Amino acid sequence: MMIHNDHSSDHPGEEEAFLDAQTDLAAEIKAEAAEQEALEAEAEAFLNAAENDNGAEAKAGDGFSDPVQFLTSELDKLETAKKELHDQNLLLAADMQNLRRRTAKDVKDAREFSIAGFAREMLDVADNLHRALEALPEEAKNPDDANFKALIEGVEMTERAMMRGLEKNGVKKISPENERFDPNLHQAMFEIPNTEVPNNTVLQVVQKGFVIGSRCLRPAMVGVSKGGPKKSADYEEDKS
């Protein structure tokens, strides 16, 4: 039904009826709105109750109907996590300690062996100086010529100074005569038949060897015995 608001002032009864109808309609709309709000509030309360029931059922399903038990379980979980974290920290500390040790060893090795290549070249120079002196005949080693004598002494002093400099940097000479052959430090050049000494004994050193720190810089070139006993009393004693 359509309501027309074109009543004239000369029909006061109709105008009053129209106003009453509008008032009734507004009251009806307001009542419907209040009812809708009540229904929404009831639905929200129902949903909240359902969520609370689900939470309680979940806790009961986990065996924690008692809040004290639930808190105790949570504390136990935290203690377990704390212990695991502590163990991880211990492992990390051990790894860091091992890393520091390896780094310290690497630094020490770098300092100790950094001059290895240079030292080998200087050993070649020292060998040449020594060969030059060894090549002199006996009568020339004590010459009457003062200049020639000074030259010989200068070469000898140069050789000694070079060896002292190498020794200050950790280079040491090895002369293994009458020692057991060690393939880590010695290089066998030939065999010498000898039945009186244990087999593989160094009987002759052709060229001295050198070590730098704990490493072999240059193996000693040696001649070893052959034909003697395989083991000696000294060997057994050292082995024990």
Residue 31: inside a domain, yes or no?
Answer: no
How far lies 26's CA from each of 17, 30, 38, 210, in Å?
Answer: 15, 6, 19, 115
pLDDT at 111: 74
| pTM score | 0.49
The count of domains in the chain is 1
**21 neighbors 3 (Cβ within 8 angstroms):** yes
**Residue-number span of the structural domain to which 191 is assigned:** 170-240
Domain assignment present for 215: yes
* Cα 55 from Cα 63, distance rounded (Å): 12
Q: Is 19 part of a structural domain of the chain?
A: no
89 in a structural domain: no
* Rg (the chain; Cα; Å): 52
- Cross-strand pairs, 225: 192
**Does a structural domain hold residue 4?**
no
CATH at residue 177: 2.30.22.10
The one-digit pLDDT tens for each residue of the chain (240 residues) are 434 444 444 455 556 666 666 676 667 666 766 776 776 676 667 666 655 655 554 444 455 566 777 777 878 888 888 888 888 888 988 888 998 899 888 887 777 777 888 888 888 888 888 888 888 877 776 777 777 788 888 888 998 898 898 888 889 998 898 899 999 999 999 999 988 889 889 999 988 899 988 789 899 999 999 887 876 544 444 444
Q: Which two tokens stand for residue 197?
A: 């000494």
- Is 99 inside any structural domain? no
